[in-house]
Every structure is written in C-alpha cells, then in structure tokens.
Amino acid sequence: MSDLQSSFFKVERRGAVAHLVMNRPDRSNAMSADFWTDLPRLMRELAADSTVRCAVISGEGRNFTGGMDLQAFAGISKLFDSEPGRAAHAMRQTILDLQDAFNAIEQAPFPVICAIHGACIGAGVDLITACDMRIASSDAFFAIEEIHIGMAADVGTLQRLPKLIAPAIAAELAFTGRRFSAEEAHGFGLVSAVHETPEAVLAAAFELAEAIAKKSPLAIAGIKRNLQYARDHSVSDGLDYVATWNGGMLRSADLMSAVQAKMAKQEAEFADLAKPAG
C-alpha cells in the first residue's frame, strides 16, 4: 500500500488486510488536523480497492491515542469572532466535517478492527465506537474526557456507545469522564477480548482479520450493512431490509462455491468485489 500516503498514518498491507497505524508516538497519537483529513480519504481509497477485505487500526508507541490534539485546533476559537449566527453555522459545519472521518469507517464495505493498547481517551472512544470490532490489551484504559473541558462529545461517542453497551453505563461514563479499564470495557461488551500485551492484541487482530478475509466479501459487506441497519431501525424494518438484500445478492456464485467447498471439506475461494463504475 505504498501508494497510500499520509502524514499521520503508516499504511501497510498483509494480503487482503490493510493496516492503518497512527504514527505520532511522541504525542500519544494525538489527533492533529491531518488525522481528520487523512482518515476519511484513506478509508475511501481502501474501499475503492476491491482486494481489501478487512482493515486493522492500531497506534504506534505507548498509547493507542490520547484523543484530539487541542493545540492543532486552537483556531476554532477564532470562529466566534464572527457574527454569532455565522459563527454557529461555521462551527456546526466544522463538527460535521470531523464526524465524517469516523462515518467513513462505517461506510467501508469491509470490517474494521481496532487493536487498542494504553490510553484510548476522548476522540479515541469516538474512533473505536465507529469500528466493527474492538480488542484490547490488559494495559488499555478508556475515558470520555470531553466533560472535563466543559463540552459534550460531538463526533460519535454519544450516538454509538449506547448502541454497544447498556445506555445507563454509557451515561455514567459520559457524565463523569472517569477512566475505565480493559477488563471493565470487556465486561461492558465494548471490547470482545482482552490480551496480555500490545503485541498479543495486534497479533490477535490480524488473526481475526485474516480469518474474515477468507470469507465471501459479498457476504461480509452484506453482514456489515445489515448490522448497521438493524442498529438504527426496528426489528421489522431490519428483517425486511435483509430479505431485500439477500433477494438480490444470493444470486452470486459465492453461495454455490461455499456449499461445494464445505461438502468437499475444503476452503472456498471467493472473487473480489467488482469495482464501481467510473
């Protein structure tokens, strides 16, 4: 993936698995301005590459991420030098642009796995809640820290976290901003597994990603889309949606290939998704 350039991320490739590494270890991978522009661009470029079947996001150094780099956004305060209505309009658009970075993770047709170690605070929680799966090392800790600077988290945590864990727990964590451990996060259901070391959690993330990458990419895209749809709609709406989805997608060769491989006790091979026109 050497053609995917970023000043914030290292982008690597292991077969069908893409690896995005936050690479500001000297600043605990604090999310500077280039994070917010590079992440959605990279996710959309990877989504356009039909050979990518899963992605892993991790952080270099001692911490996953310390959250938003507030120094990089000191200029936001200048917005309020404008007329109040225009300042509010500009601030709203700034927030929507930041939200787009994490929306791009959800919009990718492949699953995204977070391998978390050390600190994952502030906007780090916004990031991981936008991902499909989260695993952590035993030294990981988390905090919704926005309350400590007098604001409500506004780029995804308050919307996504209550769909991942009990709403009352999400409320307590958001109102207090307290730190919680990897074991607590596992108990809440926020992370699906806890591993002893950062190296072990990264190895586990790749093992999971590589297992997923062997499955039908069409089925994987369908699962991801339907899980998101079910999250945001009623059971009845979700059942109708998946019936329509499979009514179109089950005409693929993947179903027959998978059945034949299972009968022969072999591993099926699946073609990549077709690239969109244009």
**Domain extent for 180:** 9-213
Q: Last residue of some domain: 171, 196, 213?
A: 213
- Looking up residue 247, the CATH number of its domain turns out to be 1.10.12.10
Quick one: pLDDT at residue 80? 76
pLDDT at 3 over 70: no
pLDDT tens-digit series, residues 158-207: 999 999 999 999 999 999 999 999 999 999 999 999 999 999 999 999 99
Among 262, 166, 162, CA closest to 215? 262
Residues 24 and 62 in one domain: yes
- Shared domain for 134 and 230, answered yes or no, is no
pLDDT at 84: 87
Q: In this structure, is residue 271 part of a structural domain?
A: no
Give the span between the Cα atoms of 78 and 93, in whole angstroms: 15
Do 224 and 256 fall within a single domain? yes
Identity of the amino acid at 72: A
Tokens found for residue 126: 């916004």
Bridge partners (DSSP) of residue 57 are: 20, 114
Banded pLDDT at 73 (limits 50, 70, 90): confident
Evaluate whether residue 67 is within a structural domain.
yes
Is 252 inside any structural domain? yes
- Among 172, 191, 213, where does a domain finish? 213
Cα–Cα distance measured from residue 194 to residue 79, given in angstroms and rounded to the nearest whole number? 42
Q: How confident is the model at residue 19 (pLDDT cuts 50, 70, 90)?
A: very high
- On whether residue 177 sits in a domain, the answer given is yes
Nearest to 172 by CA among 151, 194, 143: 143
- The answer on 248 and 118 residing in a single domain is no
| Together in a domain, 124 and 76 | yes
pLDDT at 2 over 50: no
112 and 77 within one domain: yes
Q: Do 83 and 185 have their domain in common?
A: yes
Q: Is residue 276 part of a domain?
A: no
Instruction: Supply the pLDDT for residue 4.
Output: 85
> pLDDT tens, 112-164?
999 999 999 999 999 999 999 999 999 999 999 999 999 999 999 999 999 99
> Between 251 and 27, whose confidence is greater?
27
Number of domains the chain contains = 2
**DSSP per residue, 173-202:** HHHH---EEHHHHHHHTSSSEEESSHHHHH
Q: Which of 198, 12, 43 is nearest to 107 (CA)?
A: 43
Q: Which of 113, 104, 119 is nearest to 19 (CA)?
A: 113
Q: Taking residues 204-223, what's their average pLDDT?
A: 96
Q: Is 269 contained in some domain? A: no
> How do beta strands 112-116 and 119-121 pair?
unpaired
**183 and 73 co-located in one domain:** yes
The predicted pLDDT at position 277 comes to 73
> Are residues 151 and 259 both part of a single domain?
no
With respect to residue 204, please indicate whether it lies within any of the assigned structural domains: yes
Tell me if 64 is assigned to some domain. Answer: yes
Predicted model pTM: 0.94
Query: Mean pLDDT throughout 59-64?
Result: 98
The answer to whether 67 and 123 have CB atoms below 8 angstroms apart is yes
Q: What percent of the chain has pLDDT over 90?
A: 79
Lowest mean pLDDT across 8-22, 81-95, 213-227: 81-95
pLDDT at position 1 is 44
Same domain? 177 vs 87: yes
Q: What are the two backbone dihedrals, phi and then psi, of residue 138, each rounded to the nearest 5 degrees?
A: -65, -20
Pair (104, 207) in one structural domain: yes
- If asked whether residues 13 and 90 sit together in one domain, one would say yes
